[in-house]
Amino acid sequence: MIHPTSLTAIIVFLVFAGAVLGISLYLGRRAKSASGYFAAGGNIHWAVNGIAFAGDYLSAASFLGICGMIAFYGYDGFLYSIGYLAGWIVALFIVAEPLKRLGRFTFADALDNKFNSRGIKLSAAISTLVVSCFYLIPQMVGAGALVQPLLGFPHYVGVLVVGAIVTVIVTTAGMVSTTWVQFIKGGILVILCAVITVMILMRGVTTKPTTADGQEVKIPGYGLVAADVTGAPGAVVLPEEGIWRNTPYVRVRNAAGVISVYRKEGDKLSETQTSRVRPDGRRFVNGLPRGKGEGEADLLPVGYASKLPGGVEKTGPLGPFDFLRTMQESEVILWRSDRFTEADGGVTTVYYQKPTAGTDFMAPGSSPTFQKVRSSKFFDKLDFLSLMLALFCGTASLPHILIRYYTVKDQISARKSTVVGIAAIGCFYVLTLFLGLGAMTSGALDVTDSNMAAPLLARSISELLFAVISAVAFTTVLGTVSGLIMAASGAVAHDLMSNVMKIPMDEFRKVAAAKVASLCVGVLAICLGILFSKMNVNFLVGWAFNIAASANLPSLIMLLFWKRTTKQGITSAIIVGMVSSLGWILMSAQAYKDVYGWNPADAIVPFSQPAIVTIPLGFLVLIVVSLMTRRAGTEPAPATAK
């Protein structure tokens, strides 16, 4: 779809970006020491830190990805919400306080607290860098995807703008400005989502959605009598040749010479939308050149209920539970696609209507990602279980979340700020279900891009709301990316340079080194964001969670709860967890399909999400290596958490 550039959106965006930069530069003058730079001097109030947790955690994937997934497939997107939140329980009960007690600036500090081992520092720093980079890619890709329709710039400009702003935030004031940016963004995001949810409930559900300025959304025909379509004056049914052979599609050329594609549903026909990219790059939509002008066409916005309970056309305002029940008892037109590559290299994508009952899309297994839970084979279900396990265990192992525990003054504050974080994040995730379902029936969805569901939902309500939510989504990316770059620069300057390579650095030089590291990571993030621009955002985040959980969680937990853990055990668990999960992902069906463009059926590993195998493997390696090295005469690790 071509999204019109919105002047309001550009102004609101500039105000947001300017405010964020202003705060950073102001606070930057106050953060001179290393402790000030890496951990905001441990002086952040617990309530501010709690909301900053939300700002840090609610990334572009949470906001854009989950809403989009719910809008396109239903309940399955909400599974991510549940998993992402549940992970905080591991963070609060297992990790938060010991980490605060043991560490100073970074995750490696805490792991290495009892051993003073270069092996641990090196492996923990590398795992921090790998996870941060994997998490950075989807954020940068999301930023580019957002800027494209919002400001009318190409994808790479969005990535560059985010990269530049974030690098300024991080290099000026480190953790202080990062925290405040995240606090502001976390607060605004939750409040704004609550406001939109109220508006969705006030609007209710309708079979005839309208745009913000009151125009009725055009609804493509479904279940048309075939003779009416093919027998229209001047209409000619084209023969089934080339890519159209043995497909459920019928091509009809009308009197004006425009070719439309219909999908056969029994003896009825339904309208589809087609998008064709010719080998020379020219794009055609529904048989006409793509564009907004005369003789041109663009994909139609979609998303509406086809049947409501009681056969009504409009429900009127609904309560939260009534809204969910209405969705469950309705039938909604969801859109699916078929992709054909032509002999000359051109690609045609057909988007077709799929009326789906609420009882179907409101239960697990309605999306391609999770559909296998409805299969009867046990192996098929492992993918789902493994992802839910990775989400549960991954949160407490994410480096940018872990470093936030060093910005408060003590364990009590760490505990309280986690509770505030859980409250804010929990509210947000409950709202995602309403936002997603609201977008599903907003009449504003772009069939080609699920990431745009939330901003387009806002546009269906009002242009100003669209502008604000797009700007907030953009600051969402800024907040998370700055947290990640902080974590990565800490790993480079504090762990690698100062502790592993033993480069002697005073406070001033250490902060300078971290700033140079931030700059490098920022540039790397920009490159990766441009390189991976075609990848699915939420999917990449799933990978980051898998790697984080596999590499970091076993050593973190065993260090705290098993007295016989040795430094060799920790080092090898981190390396094995990281390498095995990364390797598994690179050999999975999804990587075959999305990264290499190979046949997913040839994939070596049986399912895509490694956590269910690689987390236990990390524990096993740690235990075996610890027992072996202990017997060899290594001094036992003293008790830590007990």
Partner 1 sequence: MVDFKNPVQKEQEDAAVIAHNSRIGLSLFAVYTAIYGGFMALSAFWPQLMSEPFLGGVNLAVIYGFVLIATALVVALIYVKLCRKF
Binding site for partner 1 (CB under 8 A): 33-35, 75, 78-79, 81-82, 85-86, 88-90, 92-94, 97-98, 100-104, 109, 113, 321, 324-325, 328-329, 359-360, 362-365, 373-374, 381, 384-385, 388-389, 392, 410-412, 415-416, 418-419, 422-423, 426, 429-430, 433, 498, 505-507, 510, 641-642
Minimum distance, C-beta of residue 316 to partner 1, in the bound complex (Å) = 17
Nearest CB to partner 1, comparing residues 80 and 351: 80
- Three-state secondary structure call for residue 240: coil
CB of 94 to partner 1, least distance (A): 6
User: Of 103 and 301, which has the nearer Cβ to partner 1?
Assistant: 103
Return the SS3 of 150: helix
Tell which residue, 320, 316, 301, 310, has the closest CA to residue 206.
Answer: 316
For residue 164, the minimal CB distance to partner 1 (Å) is: 30
In the bound complex, what is the minimum distance in angstroms from residue 425's beta carbon to partner 1?
Answer: 9
Residue closer to partner 1, measured from CB, 286 or 356? 356
Asked if 172 contacts 452 with a C-beta cutoff of 8 angstroms, the reply is no
Q: Which is nearer to partner 1, 91 or 166 (CB)?
A: 91
* Cβ atoms of residues 82 and 389 within 8 Å: no
- Residue number, 365 or 569, with CB nearest to partner 1: 365
Closest approach of Cβ 562 to partner 1, in Å?
14
Pick between residue 89 and residue 623 the one whose CB is nearest to partner 1.
Answer: 89
Question: CA 633, CA 218: separation in Å to the nearest integer?
Answer: 76
Count of CB atoms situated within 10 Å of the CB of 117: 17
What is the nearest approach in angstroms of partner 1 to the Cβ of residue 531? 35
Alpha-carbon gap, residue 149 to 466, rounded angstroms? 11
The identity of residue 98, as a single letter, is P
Q: Minimum Å distance from CB 96 to partner 1? A: 9
Nearer to partner 1, 64 or 391 (CB): 391
Pair 127, 552: CB distance under 8 Å: yes
Measuring CA to CA, which residue among 507, 577, 502, 524 is closest to residue 547? 577
Q: Based on CB atoms, which residue is closest to partner 1, 248 or 309? A: 309
Residue from 577, 592, 584 nearest 609 by CA: 584
Residue 272 CB, shortest distance to partner 1, in Å, is 28
With respect to partner 1, which residue has the nearer C-beta, 228 or 507?
A: 507
> Closest distance between partner 1 and the C-beta of residue 509, in Å?
10
22-26: list long-range contacts, CB under 8 Å, 24+ apart: 23/177, 23/180, 23/181, 23/184, 24/168, 24/169, 24/172, 24/173, 24/177, 24/181, 25/172, 25/173
Cβ atoms of 477 and 142 within 8 Å: the answer is yes
Q: How far apart are CA 501 and CA 503, in angstroms?
A: 5
State residue 540 phi and psi, 5-degree precision. Answer: -65, -35
